[in-house]
Amino acid sequence: MTHSDRWIGPLFFFFGIFVVWQASKLEFASSYGAGSGFFPYWLGIVIVLLAVVVIVAAWRNPSGADDTVAPHLSKQKVAAYLALLAFVFTVEIVGFIIAITCLSAFLLKLEGESWMRALAVASATGVGFYLFFVRMLSVTLPLGPLGF
């Protein structure tokens, strides 16, 4: 176990408690035998017990590996994830093709490409998706005001 498990363990612990609480609202036993809450209730208990093992092991015997969030959560990653969320939020408003073109352009710019090149590659991506999925495979995708 690592240092980070000292705070990840409690997260799983409370998640397990939440599951047990929610499962206890369901039927534990029914005329069919075990009820709809039986399986998730025991899974909640298992999660709580495993979380306790993680917490105890993390405090008693940490490996000492430096796995704090800082080196992993760069601004670039946060921006990329926010762009991804923005894509999901706007995809039904502007349509899939425009949304994926904008997302691609933003991600390429984020990786250091010039706006010109990012837009060119992203436009090609959008056109490629339209031709392959919409025209060739007839996949249903969210349509925008321009009809694609």
Partner 1 sequence: MDLLTNLLHGFQVALLPMNLLFCLIGVTVGTVVGILPGIGTTAAVSILLPLTFRMDSTSAMIMLAGIYYGTKYGGSTTSILVNTPGESSSVVTCIDGYQMALQGRAGPALGIAAIASFIAGTLGLFGLILLGPMLTKVALSFGPPEYFALMTMGLTSVAYLAGRSITKALLTTAIGLLLSTVGFDIFTGKLRFTFNHSDLSDGISFITVATGLFAVGEVLFNVGRSSAQMEMFKVSSRLRDLLPSWQDLLDCRWSFVRGTVIGFVVGVLPGAGSSISSFLSYALEKRYSKHPERFGKGAIEGVAGPEGANNADTAGAMVPMLSLGLPGSGGTAVLLGALILYGVQPGPLLFQQQPKLVWGLIASMYVGNVMLLILNLPLVPLFASMLRLPYRFLYPLILGFCFVGVYSVRQSVTDLWVLSFFGLLGYLFRIYDYPSAPLVLGLVLGPLIERALRQSMVLSQGDPMIFLTRPISASLIGVAIILLVMPTLLASFKGKSSP
Residue 142 binding partner 1, by CB under 8 A: yes
**Binding partner 1 by CB under 8 A: which of 14, 21, 59, 81?**
81
- Fill in the per-residue mask, 36 to 75: x = in contact with partner 1 (CB under 8 A), - = not in contact: xxxxx--xx-xx--xx-xx--x---------x----x-x-
β-strand 33-34 against 29-30: which pairing, if any? antiparallel
* Binding residue (CB under 8 A) for partner 1 from 12, 119, 143, 144: 12
The three state secondary structure string of the chain is: CCCCHHHHHHHHHHHHHHHHHHHHCCCCEECCEECCCHHHHHHHHHHHHHHHHHHHHHHHCCCCCCCCCCCCCCHHHHHHHHHHHHHHHHHHHHCHHHHHHHHHHHHHHHCCCCHHHHHHHHHHHHHHHHHHHHHHCCCCCCCCCCCC
Min. distance of Cβ 144 from partner 1 in angstroms?
A: 14
Residues present in the chain in total: 148
Question: 10 Å Cβ neighbour count for 103?
Answer: 21
User: Which residue in the set 21, 27, 59, 66 belongs to the binding site for partner 1 (CB under 8 A)?
Assistant: 27
> Closer CB to partner 1, residue 53 or residue 59?
53
Among 60, 64, 136, 140, binds partner 1 (CB under 8 A): 140
Binding site for partner 1 (CB under 8 A): 1-2, 4-5, 8, 12, 19, 22, 26-27, 29-30, 32-40, 43-44, 46-47, 50-51, 53-54, 57, 67, 72, 74, 76-77, 80-81, 84-85, 87-88, 91-92, 96, 100, 103-104, 107-108, 110-113, 121-122, 125, 129, 133, 137, 139-142
